[in-house]
Amino acid sequence: MHGLDLVLPVAVLSAIALIQPPGRELPYATGVPPPPRAQKKGWERKARLRMGRGASDNQLLFPPAQDTPEAQLGPNFSPMRLTRCQAALAAAITLNLLVLFYVSWLQHQPRNSRARGSRRGSTSGPRVTVLVREFEAFDNAVPELVDSFLQQDPAQPVVVASDTLPYPPLALPRISNVRLALLQPALDRPAAASRPETYVATEFVALVPDGARAEAPGQLERMVEVLRAGGARLVAAPVASANPARCLALNVSLREWTARYGPAPSAPRCDAVDGDAVVLLRTRDLFNLSAPLARPVGTSLFLQTALRGWTVQLLDAPFAAAHQPPLATAHARWKAEREGRARRAALLQALGIRLVSWEGGRLEWFGCNKETPRCFGTVVGDTPAYLYEGRWTPPCCLRALRETARYVVGVLEAAGVRYWLEGGSLLGAARHGDIIPWDYDVDLGIYLEDVGNCEQLRGAEAGSVVDERGFVWEKAVEGDFFRVQYSESNHLHVDLWPFYPRNGVMTKDTWLDHRQDVEFPEHFLQPLVPLPFAGFVAQAPNNYRRFLELKFGPGVIENPEYPNPALLSLAASS
């Protein structure tokens, strides 16, 4: 109990003490000691006999004046009476206590509670929990947002979710239906405290971005009715901010590690909403997602829902913007944008998205580059780890392989080194003019006698060489062949296999346990023919179909398969 809640009873007792001076005990006279206990019981019995067994205690305490114990006490007996002064004092104290109690009650209520009283929700209680996740701790309008929804309904459940305790602290109302959820596990909290679904008990949840406010009554209820009408799994309402919401088509391919955005053909129903919007969905749907409250909330939410085929209905009923919008200063916006980019990159990495394609063709890369390791580790059994996950080569790795292959081919051609597409790289060129979508390197054959023509290959004979573009030329540790790596950090590579003719057959000194690693007639290289590959034109064996069937078997171009079907089959993983 709050300290002020004790004021009224304590003060009432004090008022009684003021009215009745110490030493006076009702109903006896001032200055006259009470009769002994036995004497008192005696006259009470006599009085009951005279007045009947049904006499009340008041009648016993204040009986008629004649022949009463009071009269026997003497002429100085006088019943207690309130003076006008005492009555006025009692009234003043009571009035002040009532005022004090009312002020104390007001301090325990949310702001503007009197204004909200006439707009309470239905008797069944709110059906939607307002969940605030997208805000910056260093500069936000969350208190205004929360208060605006409480003005519409004081019982509105509100959950503000943050990874850690926001600093500076948020000025939230201290009432039971407004809660702060800290999502990062901590040693001193139970496991349930870090699970956001613990805080939501309603059928629906509305994800409300910072900078929004509720002004029109019933906005959330109208969104609920649209959602219940069917057709869309989510309902969104724009916020009248500087970043208005718009409908987009979104295709997510986990196999290709890619998200592609484009114009929505059926707006206002679409796959995703870009911009500031309040998004409403069923609570069970939200918390069945693998990352329900990952930030940025809009990016993570729609990547997950679009992958499941859920659509969103964008309403033409905007929420108002905050009276004092967050991030009003240039420094705050710069800081928020910087941290937002970092969060987005981390999110896409975690969700396995390496490439985002926007409408208009703009590309964003979130995978490996020259300064980072490649996206996968050592390959065992010709089967990279990502194939077991149902994915193909990450697009950033394919981009690096294309760049490395183009560069190496340019160096070889400039040095007069005869080369040709080999193995799986030739198969990819023959099949679709590019690297096979699940391949993890590029293979080129070269004439052993031409190695001395290339400065980089000569240097690699003695040790590793990093050229002016950052590519690493070296002799492979697995055998007598060369390898060109994308960078010192990123080991995506092109393998150069030196062949030499012997009795009209091309052979080499190092053989690996690959089915395509076989000798072949030299006439396939006389002449070499151009073939589009990975965005440029490379040299290939003539009659490359027969060349490939010699190495892989009949029908290899038309029947794709993973490198090691004994470990993992393309048909079984599809």
Looking at the chain, which residues constitute the CATH 3.90.550.10 domain(s)? 128-248+266-327
Q: Extract long-range pairs of 527-531: CB within 8 Å, 24+ residues apart.
A: 528/418, 528/420, 531/421, 531/426, 531/429, 531/430, 531/433
In 287-329, alpha helices (H) = 297-307
Q: What is the pLDDT of residue 261?
A: 97
Q: Which of 299, 326, 292 is nearest to 170 (CA)?
A: 326
pTM above 0.85, yes or no: no
Which CATH architecture best describes the domain 128-248+266-327? Alpha-Beta Complex (3.90)
Residue 9 has pLDDT above 50, yes or no: no
173 near 111, Cβ under 8 Å?
A: yes
Please, what is the average pLDDT of the chain?
Answer: 86
- Which percentage of the chain shows pLDDT scores above 70? 79
Q: What is the pLDDT of residue 513?
A: 75
Q: At 12, is the pLDDT very low, low, confident or very high (cuts 50, 70, 90)?
A: very low
DSSP assignment of 394-459:
-HHHHHHHHHHHHHHHHHHHHHT--EEE-HHHHHHHHHHSS--TT---EEEEEEGGGGGG-HHHHH
Q: Indicate the class that CATH gives domain 395-572.
A: alpha beta
Mean pLDDT, residues 255-259: 98
Q: At 566, is the pLDDT very low, low, confident or very high (cuts 50, 70, 90)?
A: confident
Q: Per residue in 377-393, pLDDT tens?
A: 999 999 999 999 999 99
Q: What is the pLDDT of residue 102?
A: 64
Mean pLDDT, residues 433-437: 97
Q: What is the pLDDT of residue 540?
A: 98
Q: 3-class secondary structure for 325-389?
A: CCCCCHHHHHHHHHHHHHHHHHHHHHHCCCEEECCCCCEEECCCCCCCCCCCCCCECCECHHHHC
Q: What is the pLDDT of residue 76?
A: 52
Looking at the chain, which residues constitute the CATH 3.30.460 domain(s)? 395-572
Residue 170 has pLDDT above 80, yes or no: yes
Q: Which of 163, 359, 84 is nearest to 246 (CA)?
A: 359
Q: What is the pLDDT of residue 220?
A: 97
Q: At 565, is the pLDDT very low, low, confident or very high (cuts 50, 70, 90)?
A: confident
Q: Per residue in 312-354, pLDDT tens?
A: 999 999 999 999 999 999 999 999 999 999 999 999 999 999 9
Q: At 27, is the pLDDT very low, low, confident or very high (cuts 50, 70, 90)?
A: very low
Q: At 13, is the pLDDT very low, low, confident or very high (cuts 50, 70, 90)?
A: very low
Q: What is the pLDDT of residue 567?
A: 87
Q: Per residue in 129-144, pLDDT tens?
A: 999 999 999 999 999 9
- The token pair at 210 is 């910072």
Residue 166 has pLDDT above 90, yes or no: yes
Residue 2 has pLDDT above 80, yes or no: no
Residue 116 has pLDDT above 50, yes or no: no
Mean pLDDT, residues 259-288: 96
Q: Per residue in 489-498, pLDDT tens?
A: 999 999 999 9
209 near 142, Cβ under 8 Å?
A: no
